[in-house]
Structure 1
Amino acid sequence: MQSPHPNSDGQTANSEADRRLADRSGLLVGAPDEREWAAALEMRSRIADSSEDPLPADPKSTSRGPRRRGRVARFAWEMSQTIATLLALLLAVVAALVIWDFYVTAPWTRDGTVRVQVANIAPQVPGQITEVRIVDNQYVHQGEVLYVIDPFDFQVALDTSKAQLRQAAADLQVKRIEAERRRRLTELSTSMEEKQLFVGSAIQAQAAFDAAQQQVAQAEINLRRTQVRSPVNGYVTNLLMRVGNYAQVGTNNISVIDTDSFWIDGYFEETKMAHVCVGDRAEAALMGYPDPIVGQVQSITRGISVANAAPSTQGLPNVDPVFTWVRLAQRVPVRIRITDVPAGIPLISGMSATVTVRGAEARGSGSWLHQRLARLEDRLFDTIHNRRPSPECVPRIGDESGTTAILSTPKPSTPLNPAEIDPALAPEMGKQQTGGPGSQAPPRHQSRRH
């Protein structure tokens, strides 16, 4: 049977060759349509023209190169994934150590409080309040008058004491003169018993004169105490007193916050106390203020309350039989002395603060980056190996001497000479140099007449 086309054998051979070429170029030939064949040939020619390297004659060599490059690429990808996994694991371990150090062992606490000393002022003399010179939350200086108590009764007491002092001074001068006159007489003019009586009367007059002086001094101090003054520099707080109230001795009626006594208490967990040293730099951030207050660790409390130490009704220790497996770390108060307060931050007693002790920055030397790296290295080392506190970190009991606060108090007045009170009563007493009322009698061989 003859073929319908004269060149059917040649066309079949050409189509077989074109199909092999299409397979080499990666094209799959489907239906034997002439248009599809033409499109495949055109695509093959475009790929051959765009390729720099000629198509190898051997089909095996064509597939060997991409396989090698694929294996190298897969190996590089697997290595990169392994390295990335190891780096992520290492970063996770370091982050876990840093977080553990920050939350467990780093010396910081959110349990901080601003503290201050409060002077509770009570009158030393009773009476009705006649004048109040202050208002609530007013700043007062040390020695400034806060209020005044009615001084009439105390002025009368002072005047009476001064009158009694003049009376005692006159009586003392007269008895001294009488005792001196009897001392100069011989035993023929007077007896020894009479001399002793006059000498004793002079001594009693001296005692009465001394007591009168003390009463005058007490009356003067009581009169000055009717003006109640502030013992410290600070702010008057919670003022409830008013004119007309009666002031009781020893009853507080005014409170003044001592502005020179502010400090911060940080309550650190006992697991962090190994990183707290006396003298370290400390920062306290108050709630609502971005800039921290700078201070210094001044002291560490040496004792806190223990519930098991409470005695029972029989005096025996009361021990709680319930003990849980979860043990909470006790908190130890640490006193922070304030050294620098940023502008615009008011110190108010009772405010909450986050306290952070930065001992590395305070004691370290070098640049900021060097201190940071050294601190991170120390923290990681302390986290892995438990830190041993330095013996000089916390002073021993009795190594530090505290400051002594002294309040000025009135002093007794200098004893007076009775001749200075009334010189015209006995002018010769100021001129004579006698041995006093207790002087010995003259020798018996002196003249018997005065």
Structure 2
Amino acid sequence: MEIILLLIYSGIVWLIFFKFKWLPWNFISQVIVITLPIFALTALILYLNVVAPSSSDVRVLNYVVQVTPRVTGRVIEVPIEPNRPIKKGQVLFRIDPEPFKQKLSELESKVPEFTAKLDTAEAYQRELGDQLKSARSTQSALAAKLELAIKREGQTRDLSGTGAGTKFDYEQAQTDVKSMRADLAQAAANTSQVQQKLSAKTKQGELSEVAQARAALEQLKAQIAYSRWELDQTVFRAPADGTVVNLQLRVGSYAAQIPLVPVMSYVENEQMVLAMYTQNELRNIKPGNDAEIALKTFPNRIIKATVDSIVWSSGTGQLPLSGTVPQTGTNPIPPGRFAVRLIPSGRDEKTFLPMGAQGVGAVYTEHGHMVHIIRKVILRVGTKLDLLVLKLH
């Protein structure tokens, strides 16, 4: 663009000083003609860098999922091909499910046994309740009989003293009272024994035997649920739309549940475009500003975009005590720069952008609309030059 402006300026100078000779071509006019474009272009570029800042470092980044199996086993199927579109939910690979099926069957076979133990414990609790009711009833009946026996003892004592009754009846009544007291004491002991057994209850009102049997059954059910989950995890599905690059997993491979050893890298279709700017270029950039990018992957093409946000963080702003902020892209952000996230918009909203593609771009702020055209021309001239493949081999 600068060359075009200089050519236009040179044509105007030629018309004024040589074609029509409206002004004399002397030393003063020569100095003015030479210095004027230098100062004008310098001021224009400086102003342009404020109202329509450009970036020579635009990157296309994709989210990459390191695929690690959630269970360990031998791979029996890999039904995908590398560098082919994959839909969310499509099977990436399968692990031999037989060991997990056997484990699940073994656990499920124990359910009747643990259920029977719980039923036995609950029946024992009900039996203790019935025993307590029976013991209390027996104790109440014996207490009534004892009270009657004591009355009869008094009556026979009085009759024996007046001669109206025999001494034998009195002694028999005394024996009955002693027997009734012994029976009542035994009934009270039985009641106390049953109550003591029933006193060992949990907060839910269950015997400890019932609680233990129920806990064992619930633990078994949890193990069954986890075993079913493990069986389900033998089939690993795509977490999102994307592709698998550099697929090395093969049938017969051993997939281990180790986070640091992924079996493949899954590249999601969701991506973001980052433009790197120095700190003093960000003052006028706001979310919603229009932007344009030109990637070397697509020579002679301008991709429309919109500013989504400014990433106000950088690894240089964090102390090394707790690690570092994850770097953006394959190369770290240059010191003193921040990333501006761009989103393709308009007709380019669904445009395929290769992961790792680089290029240049510009953001058009709310200021200096008249000079935005200059930045657009510069961007378009640059992308036309990308059509040239400058190498000697």
* Length-normalised TM-score, structure 2: 0.62
Change (3 A) 1:340 1:169: farther
CA displacement at 1:305 relative to structure 2 = 4.2
Question: 1:177 maps to which residue?
Answer: 123
Change (3 A) 1:126 1:348: same
Question: 2:225 maps to which residue?
Answer: 217
Change (3 A) 1:212 1:108: same
Give secondary structure in 2 for the equivalent of 1:282.
Answer: strand
Provide the rounded CA distance (Å) in 1 between the counterparts of 2:318 and 2:121.
72
Change (3 A) 1:297 1:307: closer
* 8 Å CA contact retained: 2:48, 2:371: no
Question: 1:208 maps to which residue?
Answer: 216
Question: 2:285 maps to which residue?
Answer: 276
CA displacement at 1:210 relative to structure 2 = 0.7
Provide the rounded CA distance (Å) in 2 between the counterparts of 1:249 and 1:139.
26
CA displacement at 1:138 relative to structure 2 = 2.0
AA at the equivalent of 1:220: R
Question: 2:149 maps to which residue?
Answer: none
Question: 2:306 maps to which residue?
Answer: 296
Provide the rounded CA distance (Å) in 2 between the counterparts of 1:347 and 1:162.
51
- Structure with bigger helix share is 2
Question: 1:192 maps to which residue?
Answer: 195
AA at the equivalent of 2:248: L
Worse-superposed segment, 101-110 or 266-275: 101-110
Gaps of 5+ in 2: 1-19, 136-186, 201-205, 322-333, 375-393
Change (3 A) 1:106 1:282: closer
Question: 1:425 maps to which residue?
Answer: none
Provide the rounded CA distance (Å) in 2 between the counterparts of 1:226 and 1:376.
57
Question: 2:146 maps to which residue?
Answer: none
CA displacement at 1:177 relative to structure 2 = 1.7
Q: Which has the higher contact order (CA 8 A, sep 6+)?
A: 2
Matches within 5 A, 1:225-264: 225-250=233-258, 251-259=261-269, 261-264=270-273
Question: 2:370 maps to which residue?
Answer: 373
CA displacement at 1:116 relative to structure 2 = 1.1
Question: 2:360 maps to which residue?
Answer: 354
Provide the rounded CA distance (Å) in 2 between the counterparts of 1:309 and 1:130.
47
Give secondary structure in 1 for the equivalent of 2:77.
Answer: strand
* 8 Å CA contact retained: 2:48, 2:372: no
AA at the equivalent of 1:173: D
Give 2:61's match in structure 1, choosing from 115, 118, 124: 115
RMSD: 3.4
CA displacement at 1:342 relative to structure 2 = 3.5
Change (3 A) 1:106 1:227: same
* 8 Å CA contact retained: 2:51, 2:364: no
CA displacement at 1:91 relative to structure 2 = 5.0
* 8 Å CA contact retained: 1:293, 1:340: no
Structure 1, residues 230-286: CA drift from partner, whole Å, max 9, x if none? 111111111111000001003311211111x21111111233222322221121111
AA at the equivalent of 1:346: F
* 8 Å CA contact retained: 1:106, 1:272: no
* Length-normalised TM-score, structure 1: 0.54
AA at the equivalent of 2:355: S
1:267 aligns with 2:276: yes
Provide the rounded CA distance (Å) in 2 between the counterparts of 1:192 and 1:310.
66
Give 1:140's match in structure 2, choosing from 75, 86, 103: 86
Structure 1, residues 187-216: CA drift from partner, whole Å, max 9, x if none? 346622344579221111111111111011
- Fraction of identical pairs, as percent: 22
Give the number of the structure whose alpha-carbon radius of gyration is greater: 1
Change (3 A) 1:117 1:212: same
Provide the rounded CA distance (Å) in 2 between the counterparts of 1:283 and 1:263.
14
* 8 Å CA contact retained: 1:270, 1:329: no
Change (3 A) 1:373 1:211: same
Matches within 5 A, 1:43-192: 79=23, 81=25, 90-102=36-48, 106-186=52-132, 187=135, 188=187, 191-192=194-195
Provide the rounded CA distance (Å) in 1 between the counterparts of 2:373 and 2:353.
33
Provide the rounded CA distance (Å) in 2 between the counterparts of 1:344 and 1:203.
60
* 8 Å CA contact retained: 2:50, 2:284: no
Gaps of 5+ in 1: 1-75, 312-327, 365-370, 378-450
Structure 1, residues 109-167: CA drift from partner, whole Å, max 9, x if none? 11111111111111011000011111111222222211111111100111111112221
Provide the rounded CA distance (Å) in 1 between the counterparts of 2:243 and 2:373.
44
Structure 1, residues 296-320: CA drift from partner, whole Å, max 9, x if none? 2222232334499779xxxxxxxxx
* 8 Å CA contact retained: 1:125, 1:249: yes
CA displacement at 1:290 relative to structure 2 = 2.5
Provide the rounded CA distance (Å) in 2 between the counterparts of 1:92 and 1:248.
66
CA displacement at 1:89 relative to structure 2 = 5.6
